[in-house]
Chains A and B, each alone.
Chain A
Amino acid sequence: MRRALTVIHALGLMLVVFSVAYVIPVATALIYADGTLLLDFLLAMVWTVAAGVLMWMLTRRHKGELSIRHGYLLVVTMWTAMPVFATIPLLLVIPDLSFTDAYFETMSGMTTTGATVLTGLDTLPPAINIWRHELNWLGGLGIIVLAVAVLPLLGIGGRQLFKAETPGPMKESALTPRIADTARSLWVVYVAITLACIGALKWAGMDWLDAVCHAFSAMGLGGFSTHDASVGYFNSPLIEFVMIVFMLLAVLNFSTHFLALRAKSLRVYLHDAEAVASLVLILSSCFGIAFFLWWNDVYPEFLTALRHASFNLVSIATSSGYASVDYAQWPIFAPLWMMFLTAIAASSGSTGGGIKMMRTLVLVKQAGREFLRLLHPAVVNPMKIGGHVVPNSIVFAVLGFIFLYFMTIVTLTFVLLISGMDFISAFTAVLASVNNCGPGLGTVGPASNYQGLTDFQTWVCTFGMLVGRLEIFTVLILFTPHFWRR
């Protein structure tokens, strides 16, 4: 119990920091001279600060060093508590919104999933829209720092590998001052690319509000949009192209971006085995799917096919979840292949979800090792990624992670099937939630959203998003008896 109190102490502080995020919607409300919204957001801010201060004050006797166990608990409580407070403005402004739906929406934002239960997005007040998108952006920021600086220390499912693979300043393993440095440099890169994205989208033809909102959700690979028709609303190849570029940037490891910026050289990307694999896989899939669609006469012209295939495939594969057309109508191979890419294509240390390319590489190489071992029983062939040897302990951790990942998907799919959903909808809803992608197929496809789900199904998907975002182990470890044993 003492452990929980120490964590609550830290969480209180985090909430106070989080309340700073309300500044952006408050400013938006001011710009659009929306008095009631301004009050609502200020109220939400006050409540959050008050709750944070209260938690902090009440537990100040339990202030102490955070150990690794505290780390798991803190990360999970942070990712569950912040969406709770983030629902306040939504509940205040949107009438008839249940807490279940509001929490799904904010969780979807903070986990950069981008699935929504709201319709009539076009008519939502600007401040609310910007708040939803800001959650995407903050979630992305949080996950990069978490993935690069914190999770490796917890050693989850081969996470150490990602740290070992990050060259330069991230190589240190000391827990204390380096994390702050690392986090700061990543923030700078993230903010810089976001600003560039806002500028590019404005230039491509969006108004300022749309540009900011879409830049926020694109960088977080969230996929929230200010329009019910998503990016299809703009019907502009230029906007789609700009978004493809920035989604591809966001799906790469941000420490690689940092190194590339510092070295002012693109060669850095070539040395990142993950980045190369991700980009090759995504880009070749674009052409493949475009050809497939053209071949099947979905689109009469190859270039049209390429345009729609590229945007939707990049959007889904990077786990963003925008749509420009209803790709659920395409022959089933194409959308399923896109869902498959979601699971593997994102780099570690990016804002994308799923297994991550690094673990995929480990799996593929492990399979190769097994073949070699069968042919040459005496062989010694350590796994190497990017020229570095990966210790077996990490390989086991990755295998364990993959097992849990599949079990999570299977179990949650069964739960949704029990609740009465059809198979394709249940399976893709779970896949889209756990991979933090957003839209699935069937009733949760790109043309509709998660509004039609029952409360129970909504909670299952909410849980799926949280588990997927926090790399499964982090959440499930809290359910093991050993965690709570002294």
Chain B
Amino acid sequence: MKAICWMGTGKVEVQAVDDPKIINPSDAILRVTRTAICGSDLHLYDGYIPTMESGDILGHEFMGIVEEVGSEVKNLKKGDRVVVPFTIACGSCLFCKKDLWSLCDNTNPNARVCEQFYGYSGSALFGYSHIYGGFAGGQAQYVRVPFADVGPIKIESGIDDEKVLFLSDIYPTGYQGAENANIQPGDNVAVWGAGPVGLFAAASAYMLGAEKVFVIDRFPERLELARNYCGATTIDYSDGKSIVEALRDLTGGVGPDGCIDAVGMEAHGTDVTALYDKVEQGLMLETDRPTVLRQIFQAARKGGNVSIPGVYGGALNKLNFGAAFGKGLNLKMGQTNMHKYLKPLLEKVEAGQIDPSFLISHRIGIQDVPEMYKVWRDKKDRVTKIVIDPWRETGIDRLHVA
């Protein structure tokens, strides 16, 4: 089969590799019908996640048709159409039972590596480095799905693939991002980043009762989606305006009740601290650039809720933790507990409350993927989300909805 492989920093290639096969009795093999490039794939592409190995198959947002199931799979059969959550969970451990699916005890074959970095290991992830298990990802024509009775959700209606594909990550991740901000009716919520997770977080904040949602970014096509689809008030910081001041003005001098960091470790900034982070990251003195967290700790209202769906990998420097302490902020973060959200969010899509395909800007073939990684990283061509048809050789459909 053809698969997208990470071959080094800034280098992905289409490779011909063996088809996956059943390894454990709860596995299923899918024929992938749609997959996507995630913003967090850029952390791998840019070399900020250290445990990638040449030849790793990328991709954690995918769906497809069941081709084969292992001897212990009871809920799926050949021909079922499913969306697969990017976190791999056993469904039986203490954490799965507590709905903390992304913290599953039993799915990471490299748990020892994760334990060295983090003390304890979370669940394995598809196509997301060897600290998270080294599982082959879904930017491929076929993929092996472990614990197939636990993760995949069957799509039994005739709804288009691209309307449900994002149940695999960005829609639940945005939703959990909003949920973790503990939104109460009447709350003001600020979202840093109008990428896919930020846009879904903004929409989800309204679903959870927010009065006003503010979205911060610098790319016009993303801000347009935030304004025109999600109903947010947008703040374009590309001219260097103070985000803290803007949010103070917009919230009656109080600050946002909820702040959502949908950016993570590769934040862009315009002030001297952003330059400082670039230097430190280049010298390997810190792994992540916490520009957004610095702004959030300043901007949040006293006693406010900070939610962090954006991915962080390691050490952050010059973070004013005293501000978080002094203002009594509540912090909540982590990988998405995907399995908790699949059914309720699918119901919202099928009921027509939201059409998650609103942010797709490019549909591409498999040979286009290496070039489109660069476009995605450099935010060129008004890109807002790229989906891949792994069975189409080449051809880029530009769907500029914004």
A associates with B? no
